[in-house]
Amino acid sequence: MSNLAYSLPAHSPRREPQTPHIEIVSTRSQRRARPKLFYAAVGVAGLFLILVAQLLLSILLSNGAYQISDLQAQHKELARDQQTLSEEINVIIRGGNYGWNFREARGRGPRANTSNLTFIDPVWDYPRGEGTSITGGLFYRGARYPELNGHYLFADFASGNVWALQPDDDRRVSADRVRLIAEIPGVTSFGLDPSTGDILLTTLGAGLFRLVPAAASAR
């Protein structure tokens, strides 16, 4: 029997662990789906190009229709602008048609008059440069202000202009029959003092005023 013994050397080489090699491989179904996705993308792009071409062709062939539509839009815009250009005074009669909302004052309103309706004209209107919100009004008949006897008094809330209008029956008045008599901002209504006959004006925030013949104002 042998007395030999087996032992490992003190510096025996060690075997380094190997990193496993992993390869990602697409499945057969994935490989089959790739051309389908490509064809779908091509199809969507082609459909989009066809729609764009049809739109351009319709614009070229229907240029007149697009111009008419554009003119109609411009007409509506001009109508809205005209509506903001004036304030009006009407003589009201029973059953009278004054045109709203087919027109504002003597200009076009926001609604088209497609039935060629006829309206009663205002007896007076003024542009927005003189005011933006009319406040009516009072017919004055009395001796306290002889120069205003028989006149219609009205004001504009925004500009503060106060006018006296001399009527011409129910006809439109000329400019020489309307005159500026005072300036009081924020007028909301007119009235008469029963004890003195003074013309009174109420205002928003400033209180009650009375109209006096003198140039100086008084409260």
Under the banding of pLDDT at 50, 70 and 90, the label for residue 218 is very low
Calpha distance 128→54 (Å, rounded):
47
Which pLDDT score, from 0 to 100, does residue 2 have? 47
Asked whether residue 163 carries a pLDDT value surpassing 90, the answer given is yes
Q: What domains lie within the chain, and their CATH numbers? A: 84-211 (2.120.10.30)
Structural tokens at position 184: 């009081």
Question: Distances in Å between the alpha carbon of 42 and those of 33, 34, 52, 187?
Answer: 14, 13, 16, 71
Q: What is the mean pLDDT of residues 63-90?
A: 60
**pTM to 2 decimals?**
0.58
Asked whether residue 161 carries a pLDDT value surpassing 60, the answer given is yes
Under the banding of pLDDT at 50, 70 and 90, the label for residue 30 is low
**Percent of the chain scored above 90 by pLDDT?**
32
Count Cβ atoms below 10 Å from residue 89 Cβ, excluding itself. Answer: 21
Count Cβ atoms below 10 Å from residue 82 Cβ, excluding itself. Answer: 17
